[in-house]
Structure 1
Amino acid sequence: MHRTKGKLPGLTAGLKDKLIQRALERKLQQPAPAPVARNASSETPEEHYRFHLHPGYQQLRIINDGAAKLGVSSPFFKLHEGTAGSTTQIGGKPYINYASYNYLDMSGDPQVNQAAKDAIDRYGTSVSASRLVSGERPIHRELERALAELYEVDDAIALVSGHATNVTTIGHLFGPRDLVLHDELIHNSVLQGIQLSGARRLPFPHNDWQALDGILEEQRHQFERVLIVLEGIYSMDGDYPDLPHFVEVKRRHRAFLMVDEAHSFGVMGAKGYGIREHFGLAGGDVDIWMGTLSKTLAGCGGYIAGETALIEHLKFLAPGFLYSVGMPPSVAAASLAALQRMQQMPQRVADLQARGRYFLEQAKAARLDTGSSTGLAVVPVITGSSLKATRLSSALFEHGINVQPILYPAVPEKSARLRFFISCRHTEEQIQETIRTVSALL
């Protein structure tokens, strides 16, 4: 029987894709083999000391090999040849870009760039030590003061990694006698921090403060400290919690409340001050404000803002700060300049919010599945399978639109999607072109 290379005979392309995808899913869901009893003279299996036989790498190979059989190229690790904002250049070609969270176009802003250059000229490219011992520079304190003033709290601390900020803060402040409750869609960094802490972990349904209240009614008395963790805007879905109700719940049960503002700072509120401004809350209504410097603030790293006791505790004892080199002066200077530019130019915030609303309206009018997105900077288009999301991303790239797929296991397989990050610099014409192209390809 004649067989065409790389194809299954007698099957439609759609059925072939489904069969291969199901085979991949079954392979990934197979349970790990039970440990084999060995006597003292037995040899250690090769998979126990070879990285290429590690189960995680084997799963990666299954996914990549399956994609290669379907002729689907990897959408990851694209090389941008300049500043990535609403547009970018890849492989010498221009693209409408939805794959960068440069929300207020501060990365590449001339004044932000100049602030970073000036800091290098004055302080060098590294502080060359932990800030506690000899790595402190005035620019660090200036950035932290500005953040504390914006949140209307006592103080703030800036760390070199946004992910590590959550890990070290939660991992250090809480322990085995404590409970951490988190939204079921919370970021991986929070989950890693809880695991490090040894605290009991309980998720609650997405944005459901009533379910959280019920869990605390049953569980609060069993633990010493209790932490509730939310996001200001959920990075996969583009929606946000009813924060005032969560504040009421945390007060009633005498718990701590932490809000991760990675995607809401610079995006929510008339001035971009985040979910606190959006709801008109006081800085002290939330115990731990967390955010990143890599999005609105055009740098790299994370911060915690709150009362003096919290910040002083972290500065002297949190391992992720104590044992890490201080933030490069150029990064701190760039983030401080971006914050000041945001305060000087609220129109960029207004433009971002307008473009996000427009994108969501156009997507819904085209009957695209945008889930629960509110149109605030993050809008998903849910495709229903990782294969479909990857193929759609690749096809859009061929049409001059750069947007990344979010695949299983980052989201459930049936919720695989493209995730569009909106910039204040996107035009209505670019958005119209994008929605038309997505609709046509789907």
Structure 2
Amino acid sequence: MSQGFGLSATARLALLQRLTRRREDAPPAPGAARAFRELPGQRDMELIREAAGALGLENPFFRPHEGIAGARSVIGGREVINFGSYNYLGLNGDARVVAAAQAAIARHGVSASASRMVSGERPVHAALEAAIAAHYGVDAALAFVSGHATNVTVIGHLMGPRDLILHDAAIHNSCAEGVRLSGARRIAFAHNDWRAAERELAAARGAARRALIVVEGHYSMDGDIPDLARFVEIARRHDAWLMVDEAHGLGVLGATGRGIHEQCGVDPREVDIWMGTLSKTLSACGGYIAGNADLIAWLRHSAPGFVYSVGLAPGLAAAALESLRILHAEPWRVARLQANATLFLRLVRDAGFDAGSSAGFAIVPVILGSSIGAARLSQALFERGINVQPILHPAVPESSARLRFFLSADHREDELRATVAALRARS
């Protein structure tokens, strides 16, 4: 069941024959439509959609949530236990966060209306950036309008064709796109293997003008974490910058949710570039870079994704600022999240499921080794009032197809136990 989307060779052949007949019977598309169908991956997406329909599988993606998507949500008029949200500390919808956003909108309007360099600066932007810098104990920070765009524009702008970028093989797409944009030499090392990273860096560093190591603080696909101290040592030894994508680490890792540096006992000033998003723990939307004053000043005046982009919406900046304040004031939320994730990981493994290398902080995969099996199990759970998304080939190798559970401080123990019981009953 590890190949061909979980189908036997005979079943796979029969399905392909059915889909081929459908295509042969279909009327030819107009010229423009034919051209769009030639875009990379378009035919593969069509085949997947058609195969899912032939197998009676619903599309589990893009389901509309009719309220706040937290530990519970309403989809199709029905309340479900929700494991598809990054609302780790339950702050999205918190009355204080909503009030802060509403006050900013009442004062400044919904949009910043322009690039902050031109005419879009608002006091709440500076306040948020000062709070983020203080969180890491570094000189300064800069907020961007998109988390994905933050990595793309910063990595793409910072490095160039004469440079070297070394990154974890499991790095997020936004980092990979930034590397591609930069034109730098790119080397991926085996996931979470700092020894492999050092071997690669030692062999390639001499030929490069500058070098950058990129890792995540908390990997969103597997829920594991790096040995940050080792990567700091490697960066210093080989005269490289270290960048940490903290998107899923802020509010999740460490006793008080300060992130991977707190979890690993590392001085945050030892990391050259902190990157994170505002859309998860901080219940807003956008991204940030925190670090050295010279770096931030340079990005503020030259990074294309900042200089030529509209500024972060004032309401979102205010929501993120208030969420960060609550994170610091209420560390019990972090403790509850971690307790929920630890319990869920133990229950999943006790039930005989493969949770991979998850460290049990907020993200727990259930690896099934079959895209069809993952899609079917996701659909069966949804029918029982449990919303969890499947991760399918080609997003992961077919042998690693999975369900991915995002835990929240607001999940109840009975919901976690009921979910694992449903997993066992339907698997």
Gaps of 5+ in 1: 1-13, 28-44
| Shift in Å, 1:339 | 0.4
- Contact in 2 for aligned 1:48/1:54 (Cα 8 Å): no
- Contact in 1 for aligned 2:5/2:372 (Cα 8 Å): no
Q: Matches of 1:244 and 1:133 in 2, distance apart?
A: 40
Verify: 1:18 aligned to 2:8, yes or no. Answer: yes
Verify: 1:217 aligned to 2:210, yes or no. Answer: no
The residue aligned with 2:298 is 313
1:307-363 deviation per Cα after TM superposition (whole angstroms, max 9, x unaligned)? 001111111000000100000000000000000011111000000010000000111
Classify 1:268/1:21 alpha carbon distance in 2 versus 1 (closer, same or farther; 3 Å).
Answer: farther
The residue aligned with 2:222 is 237
- Contact in 2 for aligned 1:47/1:54 (Cα 8 Å): no
Give the counterpart of 1:206 among 170, 188, 191.
191
The residue aligned with 2:22 is none
Gaps of 5+ in 2: 18-29
- Contact in 1 for aligned 2:167/2:213 (Cα 8 Å): yes
Verify: 1:169 aligned to 2:159, yes or no. Answer: no
Question: Which of the pair has more CA radius of gyration?
Answer: 1
- Contact in 2 for aligned 1:24/1:66 (Cα 8 Å): no
Instruction: Describe how 1:139-150 pairs up with structure 2 within 5 A.
Output: 139-150=124-135
The residue aligned with 1:265 is 250
The residue aligned with 2:26 is none
Give the counterpart of 1:155 among 102, 117, 140.
140
Q: What amino acid is aligned across from residue 161 of structure 2 in structure 1? A: P
Q: What amino acid is aligned across from residue 18 of structure 1 in structure 2? A: S
The residue aligned with 1:281 is 266
Q: Matches of 1:201 and 1:26 in 2, distance apart?
A: 37
Instruction: Describe how 1:20-39 pairs up with structure 2 within 5 A.
Output: 22=12
Q: Matches of 2:11 and 2:222 in 1, distance apart?
A: 24
Give the counterpart of 1:339 among 311, 324, 341.
324
| Shift in Å, 1:280 | 2.0
Identity %: 55
Instruction: Describe how 1:287-306 pairs up with structure 2 within 5 A.
Output: 287-306=272-291
Classify 1:145/1:25 alpha carbon distance in 2 versus 1 (closer, same or farther; 3 Å).
Answer: farther
Q: Matches of 2:230 and 2:413 in 1, distance apart?
A: 35
The residue aligned with 1:9 is none
3-state SS of paired residue (1:50): helix
Q: What amino acid is aligned across from residue 36 of structure 2 in structure 1? A: F
Classify 1:49/1:435 alpha carbon distance in 2 versus 1 (closer, same or farther; 3 Å).
Answer: closer
Classify 1:15/1:391 alpha carbon distance in 2 versus 1 (closer, same or farther; 3 Å).
Answer: closer
3-state SS of paired residue (2:300): helix
Classify 1:130/1:56 alpha carbon distance in 2 versus 1 (closer, same or farther; 3 Å).
Answer: same
Give the counterpart of 2:395 among 410, 417, 426.
410
Classify 1:204/1:23 alpha carbon distance in 2 versus 1 (closer, same or farther; 3 Å).
Answer: farther
Q: Matches of 1:87 and 1:260 in 2, distance apart?
A: 28
- Contact in 2 for aligned 1:24/1:62 (Cα 8 Å): no
Give the counterpart of 1:330 among 310, 315, 336.
315
The residue aligned with 2:27 is none
Q: What amino acid is aligned across from residue 7 of structure 2 in structure 1? A: D
| Shift in Å, 1:20 | 7.3
- Contact in 2 for aligned 1:236/1:380 (Cα 8 Å): yes
Q: What amino acid is aligned across from residue 376 of structure 1 in structure 2? A: F
3-state SS of paired residue (2:188): strand
| Shift in Å, 1:125 | 0.5
The residue aligned with 2:47 is 62
Classify 1:293/1:21 alpha carbon distance in 2 versus 1 (closer, same or farther; 3 Å).
Answer: farther
Q: Matches of 1:117 and 1:204 in 2, distance apart?
A: 45
Which sits farther off after the overlay, 45-54 or 58-67? 45-54
Q: What amino acid is aligned across from residue 119 of structure 2 in structure 1? A: S
- TM-score for the superposition, normalised by structure 2: 0.93
1:114-167 deviation per Cα after TM superposition (whole angstroms, max 9, x unaligned)? 000000000001111100111000000000000000100000000010000000
The residue aligned with 1:34 is none
1:356-397 deviation per Cα after TM superposition (whole angstroms, max 9, x unaligned)? 000001111101110000111000000101111111000000
Q: Matches of 2:134 and 2:56 in 1, distance apart?
A: 53
Query: Where do 4+ consecutive residues of structure 1 move more than 4 Å?
Result: 20-27, 45-49
- Contact in 1 for aligned 2:5/2:370 (Cα 8 Å): no
| Shift in Å, 1:54 | 2.8
1:61-85 deviation per Cα after TM superposition (whole angstroms, max 9, x unaligned)? 0110011111111101111010011
Q: What amino acid is aligned across from residue 281 of structure 1 in structure 2? A: V
1:68-120 deviation per Cα after TM superposition (whole angstroms, max 9, x unaligned)? 11111110111101001110111111100000010000100000000000000
| Shift in Å, 1:56 | 2.2
- TM-score for the superposition, normalised by structure 1: 0.90
How many residues in Structure 1 have an aligned counterpart in Structure 2?
Answer: 412
The residue aligned with 1:441 is 426
3-state SS of paired residue (2:394): coil
The residue aligned with 1:35 is none
Q: What amino acid is aligned across from residue 258 of structure 1 in structure 2? A: M
The residue aligned with 1:115 is 100
Instruction: Describe how 1:364-375 pairs up with structure 2 within 5 A.
Output: 364-375=349-360
Q: Matches of 1:83 and 1:126 in 2, distance apart?
A: 22
